[in-house]
Chain A
Amino acid sequence: MALSPNDVDVRAQRRSARYQEYRLMLGAFRRDILALISLVIILAFVIGAIFAPWLTPYPDQGRGEPNILEKFQPPSWKHPLGTDYLGRDVLARILFGGRSSLSIGFLVVFLAGLIGIPLGAIAGFYGGWIDEVLMRITDVFLSFPPLLLAVAIAAALGPSFVNTMIAIAVTWWPWYARLVRAQTLSLREQYFIQAAHSIGVGDLTIILRHILPNVLGPVLVQGTMDIGSAILTGAAISFIGLGVQPPTADWGKMISTGRIYFIERPWFAGSAGAAIFLVALAFNLLGDAVRDVTDPRTRRGA
């Protein structure tokens, strides 16, 4: 049977539609690969940090024990990333340093969520003056340059791991409060919430059982994307001299102590920087992927 011009047209359309679909799949696949690699990198660092004492032959050096006889050794089989200015194995320091640097990232986001989510839900749910007051407070916190506010608070509290975490979280929670408030505002008007109201369900129950589960998705996406920046901020604060104090290993601190030797002996500050970069990059890529999956506007790779 001869093909009519019409048929050809339809076939061409189908082919082009299929081509579009392949392209989309290819794009999604490539994104998945990137997300997968990112996840592997993150897991590798997390596992490295948790099992640090068993993964390195030099756990004491990882904890801070000096080993002066072997200082400034370039990378070798014995010390794959070399040794630092006190002769400590750099790989061991990186593994142990992950404990403070990574946990800062996770804990800051967790703590910021713990403050921001309830406040945002309350502001959005009740509206009125409560909303006004809470949102003006977030405005004030957001009008500070984040890093500097964290530095000032950490300096006021005194240099330590916990204080750094608190200082960063204090600058971070307003973002979550705003996000949750916006979500709550749109949920409040929906029928299932109004229905709950009408049968006399209490406010607290509505917030806990109906609002929070529905806002958690976007918050988790934002949280994933934020862990990378929280790690960077934590590293910056300990680079400045606040945060974890020696001899405890920390990536930011490793750069600040290693930087004066960097031109001649780049391996120890260099490795710490590479660790921060890799982890932050992995979290950013993973965050992008998670957002693309959940946000229909960007799903087509726009």
Chain B
Amino acid sequence: MHRWTYIVRRLILAVVVLLSVSVVTFFIARVVPSDPAAAWVGSHPKPDQIARARIELGLDKPLYVQYLMYMNKLFHGDLGTSVQTHHPILMDLKTYLPATLELVLVGMLMAIVIGIPLGVLSGAKKESVLDHVTRFFSVAGVSIPTFWLGLLLQLLFFSKLGLLPLNGRLSVDTTLYHPVTQITGFYLVDTLITGNWFAFKDALLHIILPAFTLATYPIGLTVRMTRTSMIEVLNQKYILAARVAGLPERTVLFVLALKNAIIPTITVLGLSFVYSLTGAILVEVIFSWPGLGTYVTNAVLSLDFPVIVSVTLIVTVFYVFINLFLDIVQAMLDPRVTLQ
């Protein structure tokens, strides 16, 4: 199959998947709850609210009409209104989404910077002390409940060592005296653009703990995957040839071997990215990080059902697009992919 044929096929498949995803979220919102109208208006509904919701959701109409109404609203950017904040959900998402994305991206950066080199060294020096320590931590990294790890890190770095702030995105002083001008919603970027160094440093200090907490699972996965594929690649003849030719070990490992070993790692990084989008829910609660996770958790506590369903849909759309992007990147990097 030609590379472009593959990519086009993959795009069409993504559209089909997105449509099916909308059917599933529709079912969760309208069919699964015993009384969808009551669920739609929150924990203490008044009878007239329920009646209004019944009309708004079209619950008296057949299911497929309800679905078409639902899709029509979706395409017009109408995700409903939050029971809790009384804002249109789309507006809430615009303030919460950048905070989550910033956290996830910094976490991914940590996973790349820490995970890949550790995986390379651990694969190159199989059965060494470093290898055993790394492997233990990578198993521990996928077994530890992130929310608990967050608490432990707070206890260590805030309470015992006093090195890093406890929670939030900025300290109170910064919000009062060096307010961040909102441009992209990514504080690290916004403060850099506006040259607000004080706030930049503050934002950086605040993001370290939550981002690292979020990164533990991706780091564990990245290390394991890089290690396994390094071991495989290092057994190949071209590596032997490079060593015989006297190339420095650093070049052999980090340039020649890594270039081929990295392809599966990229897949794992993509999976970690989408994992982190949901992992952020738990981390944000621990660190009072004002993102999607905090939004959805508050929604769960106040039974703000429209928010729960909308966030699920939005994050899933992200999830589908990242997977699509990864498949395309892989098709570009590894010609064998398109042969399947």
Contact = CB atoms under 8 A, between A and B. Distances in A.
A230 to B, nearest CB: 12
Interface stretch (B168-176, B185-193, B256-264, B309-317): B309-317
Contacts of B33: 156-158
Contacts, number: 146
A255 B32 contact: no
26 contacts: A143-B17, A143-B21, A143-B323, A145-B312, A145-B315, A145-B319, A151-B308, A152-B25, A155-B303, A156-B39, A228-B143, A235-B145, A236-B145, A236-B147, A239-B147, A255-B148, A259-B286, A263-B159, A277-B143, A280-B143, A280-B144, A280-B145, A281-B143, A281-B144, A285-B139, A302-B231
Interface in A195-216: none
A281 B155 contact: no
Contacts of B16: 136
B66 interface: no
Given A143-B17, A143-B319, A241-B301, A152 B148 contact: no
A284 B141 CA distance: 11
A28 interface: no
Name the 7 nearest CB pairs between A and B, nearest first: A273-B148, A281-B143, A156-B32, A140-B20, A280-B143, A145-B278, A147-B278
Contacts of A288: 139
A73 B218 CA distance: 37
Contact of B28 (A156, A277, A283): A156
A144 B151 contact: no
Interface of B is mostly: helix
B289 to A, nearest CB: 14
A117 B301 CA distance: 35
Interface of A: 136, 139-141, 143-149, 151-153, 155-158, 228, 232, 235-236, 239-242, 252, 255-256, 259, 262-263, 266, 269-270, 272-274, 276-277, 280-281, 283-285, 288, 301-302
Give the most central of B147, B155, B323: most A CB within 10 Å.
B147
A144 B23 CA distance: 12
